[in-house]
Amino acid sequence: MSEIANTTTTPYYAVIFTSHRTEGDKGYSEIAARMVELASQQPAFLGVESVCESVGITVSYWADLESIKAWKDNAEHIIAQERGKEEWYSEYKTRIAKVERDYS
Amino acid sequence: MSEIANTTTTPYYAVIFTSHRTEGDKGYSEIAARMVELASQQPAFLGVESVCESVGITVSYWADLESIKAWKDNAEHIIAQERGKEEWYSEYKTRIAKVERDYS
């Protein structure tokens, strides 16, 4: 989770998930790692970048919007989302964005 | 720099800057804080979210693409960009994205 994602040529999509964590792990780390593993197996998944202190930013990259929707509706991911709302995050925001240009 | 940005209604733009830091501070922290201060004074600037460990993710939000271009060409920012390339980052990637949807 600590690499710069090797994304494809533009356009593609970014899901920017920013959160304030609550105190304590409460199973977060294990499920977060599992979600990255599971997302990586989805079609059109291009990569993920994540940094987490008390504030976390995770940006995942996808080839199309349909795959983002399918990932949001993934059964195991839904359970993780619910635990996130109830236990792990005091506040969060998700943004769906179309990456139009990139450069290194 | 540790808050979730209180952005406006969509669409707006996100600049996703992901980087690997080199060893040592080398003036980075001071200039990084100055760049956030300076960006905040630019027209159409909407907010910034930043987390920095050995990998850093900074997402700044803007109302339009013209303002992103103007900020990229800001004289003091150009000097900081050059120091970043030469001293602070072993690798980085910048992505310009249009935020089409968001939810909390």
Digit-coded pLDDT (tens) for A3-62: 788 887 888 888 998 888 788 888 888 888 888 888 888 888 888 888 877 788 888 888
With vertex at residue A62, the alpha carbon angle to CA A58 and CA A65, rounded to the nearest 5 degrees, is 110
Per-residue confidence (pLDDT) for residue B2, from 0 to 100: 46
- Shortest distance between the Cα of A24 and any Cα of chain B, in A, equals 18
Q: What is the DSSP string of B1-19?
A: --SPP---SSSEEEEEEEE
The pLDDT tens digits of the residues spanning B75-84 come to: 888 888 888 8
Nearest CA in chain A to B95: A102
Q: Is A55 on the interface with B (CB under 8 A)?
A: yes
The pLDDT tens digits of the residues spanning A73-100 come to: 888 888 888 888 888 888 888 999 999 9
Residue of A12, A7, A4 lying closest to A98 (CA atoms): A12
pLDDT band, very low/low/confident/very high, at B98 (cuts 50, 70, 90): very high
Residues of B in contact with A18 (CB under 8 A): 4-5, 49, 59
Per-residue confidence (pLDDT) for residue A96, from 0 to 100: 92
Residue of A54, A49, A1 lying closest to A25 (CA atoms): A54
Residue A51 has its nearest CB partner, among B4, B55, B93, at: B55
State how far Cα A30 lies from the chain centre. Answer: 15
Per-residue confidence (pLDDT) for residue A2, from 0 to 100: 46
pLDDT at B99 over 90: yes
Residues of A in contact with B99 (CB under 8 A): 16, 95-97
Q: What's the half-sphere exposure (Cβ side, CA atoms, 13 Å) at A103? A: 1
Say if the Cβ atoms of B4 and A91 lie within 8 Å: yes
